[in-house]
């Protein structure tokens, strides 16, 4: 049966619009996003198999044809010039994720009642930990940095297994990250910031074999069965959820349930890596680095070719027969009756200051564009001076820290919104009653720069003098209630 989508008629979503959205996503949005991932991951492939020759890397797609094409007379041989790919994008993205979520984030409730505040914090900690904890946050940050945005979805259980909120969320609720290549929104016509419905669309392999038809077997003898695949399309709104599966000509409805988890609110949270005005998509880190990465790979490949040609001396023999048959080396003797015979040597490595300067300038442009210098990944150069103090290190990494602080606003807002959705679901299920004002939280981020222990203890004493609860101070220092010696 085709897409029915009756529960979403009030949103204007019908089968024709859904197919149009999926077509636009498949032909325009997804290829662009997949290119970003290929530049980050830079996977290798062997067209003729791993034993057939050199691997082709994804970033070779950005190199000029003079470097990547084989000579016409080469037949099936790989006669490409030497290719050098230095993936400067990957380590910068990983360093950004480490600065964002290298250490856990503390969720603090702002509820007025101390007892309720403690229960809320324990419940939210259990929910995030059951869904992956810091690993979930790192996956979310990685997708956001590569694609520009990511989405979190709160999965609805069939029923809560316990009346205890901590145990209920640990056993039932799950937070999942939706990759932007799979998820697409239906935005409100009046407010681009509001999601009317969220669509998840992807193909997956199934556990059965797909046998070719008799006609294909006649046309292609020896055609082997392949693993069957199906396409899932999930549509979620604030009121309803439907799932369609398609393995043939038409999709079939396999699940249709009302939204009893967060009625009145769609259980999806959108997170931009860096905010982009009037756009659903955020600003990613890979897209602005692609032209510079292509230029760096091109110049490194050119330098490799130059070094190969100039590192070894070459010889031109005139009037000397049989010269090409013997080796060139110490103690070799050639004889000839030709008085005009001559051997000329040429080649040998030579310095190229302009080439080295250009490559260094490209690397500096990558540093400025990403705000991630090599120091952020632990590469210390002599020219940066003495970094014996944390303040000197902060000044050196000022751009990285400023960008991290900016991203904490967008990612922190997403974590807070998902936490409020969890509390809304528990309140609706009568497991943990909360007022909307009690569902506000704030986040305590760990400092990405290592701090001196004495400075941390002095800060803790100052907070104690100001009346901050001792358990919160100990939590910020990394101590839990069950640690030995903790009062």
pLDDT in tens, 145-200: 999 999 999 997 777 878 888 998 888 899 999 999 999 999 998 888 899 999 99
Specify whether 444 is located in the same domain as 483. no
Question: Is 282 within a domain?
Answer: yes
Specify whether 196 is located in the same domain as 160. yes
Alpha-carbon Rg for the chain, nearest whole angstrom, is 30
- Residue segments in the chain with a per-residue pLDDT below the cut of 70: 1, 48-53, 70-79, 214-217, 311-312, 323-326, 328-331, 347-350, 378, 380-392, 450-452, 478-487
Specify whether 456 is located in the same domain as 445. no
SS3 for 104? coil
Specify whether 60 is located in the same domain as 118. yes
User: Residue 269, by phi and psi: left (phi above 0), alpha (psi -120 to 50) or beta?
Assistant: beta
First and final C-alpha spacing in the chain: 64
Specify whether 189 is located in the same domain as 206. yes
Specify whether 282 is located in the same domain as 228. yes
How crowded is residue 229: how many other Cβ atoms within 10 Å of its Cβ? Answer: 12
Place of tokens 């903790």: 486
Over residues 54-67, the pLDDT tens digits come to 788 999 999 998 88
Distance in angstroms (rounded) separating the CA atoms of residues 385 and 463: 34
Specify whether 151 is located in the same domain as 224. yes
Question: Is 362 within a domain?
Answer: no
At residue 60's C-alpha, the angle toward residues 57 and 62, to 5°, is: 145
- pLDDT for 39 equals 97
- Give the residue numbers spanning the domain of 150: 6-45+55-70+79-288+402-450
Yes or no: say if 283 and 369 are a contact pair by the CB < 8 Å rule: no
Question: Is 138 within a domain?
Answer: yes
Question: Is 341 within a domain?
Answer: no
Specify whether 445 is located in the same domain as 455. no
E-only strand ranges, 289-404: 313-318, 342-347
Contacts of 118 (CB under 8 A, 6+ apart): 109
| Phi, psi (deg, nearest 5) at residue 444 | -110, 110
Question: Is 358 within a domain?
Answer: no
Question: Is 305 within a domain?
Answer: no
- pLDDT for 148 equals 96
Contacts of 62 (CB under 8 A, 6+ apart): 39, 290, 293, 294, 297
Specify whether 410 is located in the same domain as 477. no
Question: Quick one: which of 483, 471, 484 has its CA closest to 106?
Answer: 471
Structure tokens at 406: 């900016």
Specify whether 187 is located in the same domain as 238. yes
Task: State the sign of the Cα–Cα–Cα–Cα dihedral 66, 71, 76, 80.
Answer: negative
Cα 325 to Cα 27, 313, 334, 338, 344, distances in angstroms: 58, 17, 11, 18, 17
- pLDDT for 30 equals 96
Over residues 364-378, the pLDDT tens digits come to 999 999 998 887 776
Question: Is 357 within a domain?
Answer: no
Question: Is 186 within a domain?
Answer: yes
Distance in angstroms (rounded) separating the CA atoms of residues 48 and 40: 24
- pLDDT for 386 equals 54
- pLDDT for 224 equals 76
- pLDDT for 460 equals 81
Count of structural domains, the chain? 2
- Could you give the percent of the chain with pLDDT greater than 70? 86
Specify whether 152 is located in the same domain as 170. yes
Distance in angstroms (rounded) separating the CA atoms of residues 216 and 137: 47
Contacts of 264 (CB under 8 A, 6+ apart): 238
- pLDDT for 228 equals 81
- pLDDT for 342 equals 83
């Amino acid at each position: 049966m085709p897409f029915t989508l009756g529960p979403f008629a009030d949103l204007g979503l019908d089968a024709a619009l859904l197919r149009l959205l999926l077509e636009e996503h498949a032909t325009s949005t997804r290829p662009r996003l997949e290119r970003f991932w290929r530049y980050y991951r830079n996977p290798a492939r062997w067209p003729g198999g791993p034993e057939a020759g050199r691997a082709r890397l994804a970033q070779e797609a950005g190199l000029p044809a003079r470097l990547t094409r084989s000579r016409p007379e080469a037949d099936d041989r790989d006669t490409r010039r030497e290719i050098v790919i230095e993936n400067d994008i990957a380590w910068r993205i990983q360093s950004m994720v480490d600065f964002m979520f290298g250490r856990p984030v503390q969720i603090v409730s702002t509820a007025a009642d101390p007892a309720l505040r403690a229960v809320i914090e324990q419940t939210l900690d259990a929910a995030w930990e059951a869904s992956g904890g810091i690993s979930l946050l790192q996956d979310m940050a990685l997708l956001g940095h590569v694609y520009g945005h990511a989405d979190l979805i709160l999965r609805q259980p069939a029923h809560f297994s316990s009346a205890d909120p901590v145990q209920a969320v640990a056993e039932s609720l799950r937070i999942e990250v939706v990759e932007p290549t799979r998820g697409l929104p239906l935005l409100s016509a009046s407010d681009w910031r509001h999601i009317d419905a969220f669509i998840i669309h992807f193909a997956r392999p199934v556990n059965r074999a797909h046998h070719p038809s008799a006609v294909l077997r006649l046309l292609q003898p020896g055609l082997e069965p392949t693993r069957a695949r199906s396409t899932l399309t999930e549509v979620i709104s604030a009121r309803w959820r439907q799932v369609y599966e398609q393995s043939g000509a038409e999709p079939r409805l396999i699940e249709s349930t009302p939204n009893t988890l967060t009625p009145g609110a769609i259980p999806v949270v959108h997170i931009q890596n860096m905010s982009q005005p009037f756009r659903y998509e955020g600003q990613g880190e890979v897209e602005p680095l692609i032209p510079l990465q292509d230029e760096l790979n091109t110049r490194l490949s050119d330098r490799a070719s130059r070094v190969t040609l100039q590192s070894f001396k070459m010889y031109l023999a005139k009037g000397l027969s049989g010269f090409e048959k013997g080796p060139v080396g110490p103690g070799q003797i050639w004889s000839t009756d030709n008085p005009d015979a001559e051997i000329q040597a040429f080649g040998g490595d030579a310095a190229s200051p302009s080439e080295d300067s250009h490559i260094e300038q490209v690397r500096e442009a990558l540093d400025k564009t990403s705000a991630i210098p090599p120091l952020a990944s632990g590469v210390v150069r002599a020219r940066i001076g003495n970094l014996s103090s944390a303040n000197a290190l902060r000044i050196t990494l000022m751009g990285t820290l400023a960008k991290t602080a900016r991203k904490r606003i967008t990612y922190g807002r997403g974590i807070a919104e998902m936490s409020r959705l969890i509390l809304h679901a528990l309140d609706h299920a009568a497991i943990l009653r909360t007022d909307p004002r009690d569902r506000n939280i704030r986040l305590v981020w760990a400092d990405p720069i290592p701090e001196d222990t004495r400075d941390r203890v002095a800060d803790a004493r100052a907070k104690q003098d100001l009346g901050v609860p001792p358990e919160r101070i100990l939590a910020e220092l990394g101590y839990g209630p069950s640690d030995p010696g903790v009062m």
